[in-house]
Chains A and B, each alone.
Chain A
Amino acid sequence: MARFLLKRIFHGALVLWAVATLTFVLLHVTPGGPFDRERKLPPEVVANLEAKYQLDESLPKQYLRYVTGILQGDLGPSYKYLDRGVNEIVRDTLPTSALLGVLAIAFALLVSLPVGLFAAYYRGSWIDRCLMMWASFGISMPHFILGAVLIWAFALQLGWFQAGRWDTFSSAFLPTITLGAAPAAYLSALLRSSLIEALREDFIRTARAKGIKESLVLVKHALSHSLIPVLTVMGPLTASLLAGSFVVEYVFAIPGMGRFFITAVTDRDYPLIMGVTLIYTALLVCANFIVDLFYGFIDPRIRTE
């Protein structure tokens, strides 16, 4: 186990370093810089700005300083938000994104488990067809349309929820559904196909032959076996939901981290882009690691390997 842990930590660190390096290189080859403005700044002003942020140094030197900073837990200053550093921005916004992500994951699981089970059990029936049509709809519906429709219906027409902002418990309702709808639909479809396959396995036939109740066969034997593919997608899905969604945060005016994946790039705020990318990568590495551990609990064969 210790060897497994060490190996995974080493792999995780390697991935983080590769992402950090690649992001650094890509940012510096992308046209446009942080101080390009519609009002072109006088050269002496640009020189002082570059000196302040040490952008006047050579690229290898900047890279070394950047990597050293990361190792010390310092993600650097933001070129756009002048009163805060990237660490503070992440500290202020990541918890909100993570909370919304957790709610969306909970919503997705709460919906997808019964839907997947019903669709698989009644496969080929009208129930299955209706549920899978809903799943296709959920997967293909873009966030910005679903969010706008929910605002129109539940905020403007019915007046049950506020149109935007993140300040009361009820304000989480519409964004959670918007963010969780696509994963819920996708997980439902995945679970259904995985369950259908499991229901054809010999051990299910044996369980049924032993006279075990159908509900127990379905939930205890088939479902646990079908969770492997669901778990596989849960890793990246969890990481992306926790790190925040640009569209959902934008549409519902949620003070999360997701917006920076886009705005930091358009602002060429190098430290902020690199900071949020690294946070996302770290979340992804951790989520995949946890998923790998869960594999072992669900399927003892994997544990042995």
Chain B
Amino acid sequence: MLALLLFCVSCKASPESNPGGSDNHFRVNLGTEPPSLDWSLATDHVSFNVIANLMVGLTELNEDLKPTPVIAKSWEIADSGRRIVFHLRDDVLWSDGKKVRAQDFEYSWKRLLDPKTASEYAYILFDLVNAQEYHESKNLDAGEIGVKALDDVTFEVRLRHPASYFLSLTTFEVTFPQRQDIIEKFASRWTDPEHIVTNGPFLLTQWKHENEIQLRANPNYFLGKPAMERISMFMVNEKTTAVAMYEQGQLDFIDNQSIPTLEKRRLTKQRGFHNVPQLRGYYYGFMTDRKPFNDPRVRKAFAMAIDRSTFPKILQGGEKPASSWIPPGMLAHNSKIGVPFNPPEARRLLREAGYPDGKGFPRVVLAYNTDEVHKLVAEAVQGMWERNLGVVVALENQEWKVYLKKLQNDPPHVFRLGWGADYPDPDNFMKLFTANSGNNSTRWKNPRYDQLIELAARELDPKKRAKHYDEAQKILCETDLPIVPLFWTGESTVLNPRFTGLEFNSMARMDLRHVRPVETSSAQ
């Protein structure tokens, strides 16, 4: 706190002073050590942010979050959406000079599903024929999985049912190709800088654990060598220190990993500051099988008593109030869905449920995992419920893993959770609350909702899909309300004004391919 206070009072240093940097050297903060650079095993966005600059896959997301060709120059969808054939470019090279082939994709996808790999993201490919069975080790051979390299440049995928979102999955790093010879030769050490073989804009040159990762531009990158010759990715955990390093010119870019909540207001005035909306929803869930939240009127009353416009003001991170669940920028986002802030109607509903002015309402608990942001949100909501409904809610916080265990074993009446997109498709958000979803902690079930999600997943026409999702969102956010969406998060970023071209997308991926000094870009 003292440090923050001192920072706010005065900061003499300037990020533009850039000690130790140069025009072709760009420095970012990862925040922590990437747990793995093996894209079959990585699960966190720190690892993916490194991998995304080392590797490319079949497709990538464009500005509208639609998959566009990268290694796949085209594809055909056949058999009513059950078969996809990708045609690959033949000029993409691995860093050791060999060509990227369809067999590299086949190997990577099968490795992801192999029970021995024990990948946490194996389920991403469960839509492939026999994939889940193979992962469950049901005496299936890998050859029976629905993926096959028909030749060096043709990759065939067979699905167990049409899946409208499947192309989006091919933008996800876990589906990027891998070299069987390298992985088999070096086993778990294949991601060491001296062994790893990649195909993206940058090459891994050094990995000093807990300290920094060094990349250099790939001169043979098939889309052209990046402008930055060198990239340094530091691992500075403490946000206050990271901001100080930016102010001192030791870092050229910082994001939420590096910016304390209380510093955001000050940094918004800096040149190079941007808030990037994220495909990440923040919600409160109700335990729907327990009194008093087994009554939809009570849930609706609680939802209507929340003024969501408060959250961007207290969090200062570019949050957007959310009344529906599918985030802006995604297919089927509909801001008209959801219950509005309406205290009189909320009180009426609560009265109708048998609790006039909150009288007789049992003691309920709102739980969250210990964190500065979650505490601010919980205290704000606690105040709103007390003011608008006359209900006093007790707050409880626990350490993250203890909290997750509690949600499974002894869930509180109301709990906090969030969800970030694995791939930018509404299916990834809406499937969360189906009856069989392991992530549905509300214990709410609605067969019509499940049916709509299934229909939308199998429907290839975007308009028809959006219609299904509209109906499902109305059930989720207007009538049944097992959850109250509160806001979609934002990412605060500050880029040194000496540079331009950094692309930070709504899935928190940092693309450094087009970063260049401002002078160069002006000249061009």
Contact = CB atoms under 8 A, between A and B. Distances in A.
Contact of A31 (B10, B116, B242, B406): B406
A39 B401 contact: no
Q: How large is the interface on B (under 10, 10 to 19, 20 to 34, 35 or more residues)?
A: 35 or more
A253 B244 CA distance: 12
B135 A40 contact: no
Contacts of B118: 45, 48-49, 51-52
Given A82-B41, A159-B248, A92 B210 contact: yes
Interface residues of A, number: 52
Interface string A79-98: 01111100001001100000
Contacts of B208: 255
A17 to B, nearest CB: 27
A152 interface: yes
B132 interface: yes
A32 B405 contact: yes
Nearest to A43: B438
Contact of A163 (B12, B211, B244, B438): B244
B3 interface: yes
A43 B248 CA distance: 48
Interface stretch (B230-238, B301-309, B322-330, B353-361): B230-238
**Among A35, A163, A251: residue with most chain B CB under 10 A:** A163
B136 interface: yes
B418 A253 contact: no
Interface stretch (B30-38, B67-75, B157-165, B479-487): B30-38
Given A44-B132, A92-B210, A93-B210, A162 B245 contact: yes
B188 A156 contact: no
A273 B250 CA distance: 32
B235 A253 contact: yes
Q: Which of A49, A84, A266 has the most CB of B within 10 A?
A: A84
Interface stretch (A111-119, A143-151, A287-295): A143-151
A92 B209 CA distance: 7
B241 A251 contact: yes
A253 B417 contact: no
A30 to B, nearest CB: 8
Contact of A253 (B13, B189, B236): B236
Contacts of B2: 145, 148-149
Given A38-B404, A163-B247, A253-B241, 6 more contacts: A33-B405, A41-B438, A164-B236, A165-B250, A251-B241, A253-B236
Interface of B: 2-3, 6-7, 10-13, 19, 33, 35-38, 41, 43, 115-116, 118-120, 122-123, 132, 135-137, 188-189, 191-192, 208-212, 234-238, 240-242, 244-245, 247-248, 250, 399-402, 404-406, 417-419, 422, 438-439
